[in-house]
Amino acid sequence: MTDYSKLLVADQGQDANEIIIVDKNKYDDWLSQQSERTRIILSAQNFTAAKGEWAIIHDETSWRAVYGVKNVQNLAAWCLAEAPARLPAGQYRITLHGNENISLKNSVLGWLLAHYNFDEYLSNKKPRASHILLTQEIAMIDDIIRQAQAMAMVRDMVNTPPIDMGPNKIEERAQGIAQTHNADFHVTRGDNLETGFPLIHAVGMAAMREHAPRLIELTWGHKDHPRIAIIGKGISFDSGGLDIKGAAGMRLMKKDMGGAAHALALADLIMSAHLPVRLHMLIPTAENAISSNALRPGDIIKSRKGINVEIHNTDAEGRLVLADAFTKAAEDKPELLIDFATLTGAARVALGPDLPAFFCNNDMMAKAMLESGKEIDDPLWQLPLWDGYNEMLASDIADIANAGGSFAGSVTAALFLQNFVDNDIEWGHFDTYAWRPSAMPGRPKGGEAMGLRAAYDYLQNRYPVR
C-alpha cells in the first residue's frame, strides 16, 4: 500500500515547485499582475483558467504550474487529483489566487489518492512516482492521511479476488486492526453460529467446509462513553445461492464484502482519532454458495431476535446476515447504529454508481449526515423508509419474507432490516455500490469507498474530541 504519510508534509520552506490555482472569474485580475513574458507563455498555451485547464510557466531556472478551477472559494474534493498524473515527481506548494485563507483540506485527499494503484497481481509492476505536497495547515495532516489510508484499505479489500478475501481473510484484517488499537476481539465461527446466529449460519452453510461463516466483533473505548455500533455486510462472494445469478450479475460479486470493508475502515478511523465513544463493530461474513445443504427458497429460519423469516429468494442473503448482527448489537443498547452494505441492485437503478442510497429512522440524524456528505464532497441521497411497502414483505406462513416483489427493492430491503432495529436506536443504513465502473482522476476503476467519509465527518461532529 502507498505510504500516504510521505506525500503530505508540513511546509517549512523547503524547495518546491508552485501550483497556482485560479478561477475563471478572477483570471483577468490575476493575469494583469503577471509579467508580459508570463502572459505570452499562457496565451501560447491557450490557457483561460477554465475548470480543469493546466499550463506551465517557465522561468530561467524554474517553472510553475497554473490550474483553473470553477470556484476557488469552494474547492471540490477531487480538483487536485489530476495533478500527480500531469506533473513530474517532486515537491509542490499550492497558492490560491483570490483567497489565501481557503482550506485545502478536501482537495488534498484527492491529491493523495491519485497515488493509489492496485497492482498486487501484476507480474510487472510499474514504479510509482511520488508527488509531495507541502502544507501550512499542519492540524489537518494526520486526519487527512488517515482518511486516505482508510479509503485505500476499502479499495484494496474490494479489489482483492475472493480466493484471497474469504471470511478468514476478512477476520485477519479485522484482527490486525483490533491489535493495532488494543481493542477486544471475538469471533463466532462455523457451526457455533447455528443456535446464536441462525441466519448467518443458514447463509453460510453451503460453503461451511472451505469458507466457514462467522460473526466478527471488535469492542473499543471507555465504557462510560456513548455506545455506538458499526456493522458491515461481509459476503465474500455471492453466487446468488440456489436462486443463482447469471454470469454478468455474478462477475463483480467479489465486491459483496464492500460493506465489511467500509465498517472496518470506519472503525479504524474512529479509533485512530480517539473519538469519545464505546465502539462495537460487527461483521457478519459468509460465502453465498451452492451445495446440497444450501439455503433453499421456501425455507423458514428463526432469527436471533425470534422473528421467523421465510426465504423467498436466496439471493437476498445480505439482509439475513445483517439481521442477526443488528440483533446482537441492539442487545448492548447502543444509542446509534450505522451499517454499510452492497445490498440491492435497485439502489443502483435509482441512483447510479456514484450515490449511495441512505436510509435513516431519525430526521435530525439524516439531515446532519447529508450535510456532512455535502460539506466534504462525499454525496449521499436519502430514500424513504416507506411503511406502506411493508406489506410487500408479508409471508403466508412466517412472520416476514426476506424479499419483496419487483418494486422498490432498496426500500423493502431497508424495511426488512428495520425490523431488527430497536425503536430507541438511531439508525443509518448505507446501501452502497462500493465500486467505480469507470476511472476518474484519483478514482480508478474498481473498488471504492462511498459514504465512508460522510459517516466519519458526522461522527466527528457528533462526538468531538475535547
Phi, psi for residue 224 in degrees, rounded to 5: -85, -10
Q: Which grid coordinates belong to 89? A: 515527481
Q: Which grid coordinates belong to 104? A: 485545502
How far apart CA 436 and CA 444 sit, in angstroms, is: 7
Burial of 189 (C-beta count, 10 Å sphere; 0-12/13-18/19+): middle
3-state helix, strand, coil in the chain (%, to 5): 40, 20, 40
**Which residues does 308 contact at the CB level (< 8 Å), separation at least 6?**
300, 301, 302, 398, 399, 400
DSSP line for 107-119: HHHHHHHTT----
Q: Which residues are catalytic?
A: 245, 319
- Cβ pair 319, 418 in contact under 8 A: no
Please identify which residue in the block is written with the cell numbers 485477519.
172
Q: Which grid coordinates belong to 291? A: 451445495
How far apart CA 284 and CA 199 sit, in angstroms, is: 10
